[in-house]
């Protein structure tokens, strides 16, 4: 048997004796509603993420951690986050060479040794948790929705698997899980951040290239990143108001 995380938590909870707020928090987690746990106010946060291109080393830790944490299939066709390697030649800056073996799961084999002429860098990608999300707009049943704290989520109990949102997403970050026939994507590890933790990809990044940020918290380092760095978002022409902010992003990135 392969019980779901919810079933595991419900079964495990029988063995625990909790009281007060701890019991209420456990009940919310077991029910698949971590946002209902005491101590978390959805209206007090507005989540985003920063990615520093200059410090990403393409190790693949983020991809592996995401799949493990969120029970994503090992198959590279199904990824909540992945990493691409760009090689930009000064002779043809409009047409970079891009590769992403296995989504960057195992890192990147050496390919451009001794190529001092070209610029080579890594670009992690994931759901951009847009403020004006095309996926939310096209979902016919409201299964894809915006949470009050700025995270785009999917209710699998309502999802029809119609693929409208998959086609509408300009970042290619959604897929249909063949086990459930419903859509899946990055949730910013919502089950973690609502308990005061950071995302799995941020936690395992050895260089700190990824950082989760609360845009409603004036003390959060994300504000310094946005203020002091040259920041870009992917495909700004789409006017999605993406909340994944890249520092040091080359103009050749698609």
Same domain, 35 and 48: no
Global pTM?
A: 0.84
Same domain, 140 and 73: yes
Same domain, 115 and 230: yes
Residue 89 CA: distances (Å) to CA of 17, 92, 96: 62, 5, 7
Same domain, 227 and 115: yes
For the ranges 36-40, 184-188, 250-254, the maximum mean pLDDT occurs at 184-188
Same domain, 25 and 123: no
Length of the chain: 254
Judged against a pLDDT cut of 60, whether residue 63 lies above it is answered with: yes
- 240 alpha carbon, distance to own chain's centre: 16
pLDDT of the residue at 13 = 41
Same domain, 19 and 142: no
Residue 8: CB atoms within 10 A of its CB come to: 12
Same domain, 15 and 131: no
Place of tokens 């003390």: 219
Residue 251: CB atoms within 10 A of its CB come to: 8
pLDDT of the residue at 16 = 37
- Render pLDDT for 103-122 as a digit per residue (tens, 0 to 9): 999 999 998 877 778 999 99
Structural domain boundaries, residue 234? 44-254
β-strand pairing of 47-52 with 210-214: antiparallel
- Render pLDDT for 130-183 as a digit per residue (tens, 0 to 9): 999 999 999 999 999 999 999 999 999 999 999 999 999 999 999 999 999 999
Contacts of 198 by beta carbon, 8 Å cutoff, 6+ apart: 189, 192, 212
Contacts of 228 by beta carbon, 8 Å cutoff, 6+ apart: none
**What's the number of domains the chain is made of?**
2
Same domain, 32 and 66: no
Judged against a pLDDT cut of 60, whether residue 41 lies above it is answered with: yes
């Amino acid at each position: 048997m392969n019980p779901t995380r919810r079933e595991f938590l419900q079964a495990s909870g029988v063995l625990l004796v909790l009281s007060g707020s701890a019991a209420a928090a456990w009940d919310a987690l077991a029910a698949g509603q971590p946002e209902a746990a005491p101590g978390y106010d959805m209206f007090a946060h507005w989540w985003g993420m920063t990615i520093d291109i200059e410090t990403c080393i393409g190790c693949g830790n983020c991809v592996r951690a995401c799949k493990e944490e969120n029970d994503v299939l090992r198959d590279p066709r199904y990824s909540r986050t992945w990493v691409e390697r760009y090689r930009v030649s000064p002779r043809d800056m409009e047409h970079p060479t891009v590769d992403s073996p296995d989504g960057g799961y195992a890192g990147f084999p050496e390919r451009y040794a001794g190529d001092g002429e070209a610029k080579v860098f890594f670009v992690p990608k994931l759901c951009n948790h847009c403020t004006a999300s095309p996926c939310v707009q096209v979902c016919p049943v409201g299964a894809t929705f915006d949470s009050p704290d700025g995270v785009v989520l999917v209710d699998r109990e309502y999802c029809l698997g119609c693929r409208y949102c998959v086609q509408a997403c300009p970042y290619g970050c959604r897929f249909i899980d063949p086990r459930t026939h419903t859509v899946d994507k990055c949730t910013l590890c919502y089950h973690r951040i609502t308990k005061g933790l950071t995302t799995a990809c941020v936690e395992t990044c050895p260089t700190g290239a990824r950082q989760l940020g609360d845009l409603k918290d004036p003390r959060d380092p994300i504000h310094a990143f946005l203020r002091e760095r040259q920041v870009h978002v992917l495909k700004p022409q789409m006017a999605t108001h993406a909340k994944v902010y890249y520092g040091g992003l080359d103009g050749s990135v698609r």
